[in-house]
Structure 1
Amino acid sequence: MAETFACSFKATEQGARSCISAVMQGLRDIDLPLDRAGDVQIALAEAVNNIVEHAYFDIEDGEISIQCDLSPEELQIRISDTGPPLPDGQLPVGLPADISGPLETLPEGGFGWHLIRELTCRLHYERQAGSNQLSLFFDMPTKQT
C-alpha cells in the first residue's frame, strides 16, 4: 500500500527551501529508506529550483504543488506549476556539461537536468489544463531478509 502526502508553496527561493525541507521530513515520516534520501533531495531541489528560476522568472505569485506517493517498490514525486510549458513540450535532454577546460571557463549552470536524470529511474512530463506536470520516479531498494 502506498503512503501519500502533498504540499504547496509560493514559488520563491525561501518557499522552495521550506517546501523541500518539509517534503523530505514528510518522506522520512512515511519511511523513505535512508539510502535513497540524498538522491531524492538533490533531484527534488534541482527540479523545484528550475521551476522557481525559469517557469516563474517574471511571475510574482507563482505556486508549486508537490504530491508524493511512496510504495515499497517506488517513490513518485509529482510537481505541478502553472508557468509556461517547457520548450517543445519536452524535458531537456540533460547532457553532462563539458568540464574539460580551465576552471575559469567552467559553466555556472547546466548540470541540473543531467543530475535529475542520473538520480531518478524515470521521468514523465506533460502539459495538462494549463499546468506543467513533472513526475520524478525513484526505485526503492529491496529489503534484505
Structure 2
Amino acid sequence: MQTTEPHVRVGAYALGVLGSADTFRFEEHLADCPGCRARAGEFAGVRDGLAVVGPPVAPGPGLAERLAAAVAAGRRRAGRRRLALAAAAVVLAVSGPAAVAGLSGGPAEGAGTQRWSGTDGASGVAAVVTAAGREWGTA
C-alpha cells in the first residue's frame, strides 16, 4: 500500500489488512502520532466484531470475470426486454385504433349488459368486450 499520507492507513492497520512492509512503516509513524494511535484504538471494537465472523476470505480466481459476465448478461436481458416492450407498445399503438375503427358490431345491449366485438381484417385478431352494471360500478 503506497500512499504519501500515512494517516489514511489507520483503518487498514487496525483491521490487519496492510502488508508486512506497510505495517512496519505505519508502526514507525504510529510511535510519533498520538492522533493515529487514538484512531487505531477506536477500531478495536470493529476488529473484535469482525474476528467473531472469521478471517477474511480472498476472492477466488476469475471472480472479476464472472461478475463482469453476469452484469453483461443482465444488461443484455434488460435490453431485450426493453426492445420487446417497445415493440409491443408500437403494435398496440398501431393496431389498437385500427381494431376500434374496424368494429363489426356496436354495443349490443341486453339485461343491463353492453357488449362490443371487433375483428382486425388484416391480422384476423378478434376481441369481445362485455360490460355489466353492478352496485359497486361496472364489471
User: TM tier, shorter chain?
Assistant: under 0.3
What TM-score, normalized by structure 1, do the two folds share?
A: 0.21
What TM-score, normalized by structure 2, do the two folds share?
A: 0.22
Q: Which structure exhibits the higher relative contact order, with contacts defined as CA atoms closer than 8 Å and separated by 6 or more residues? A: 1
Larger-gyration structure (1/2): 2
Structure holding more strand per residue: 1
Structure holding more helix per residue: 2
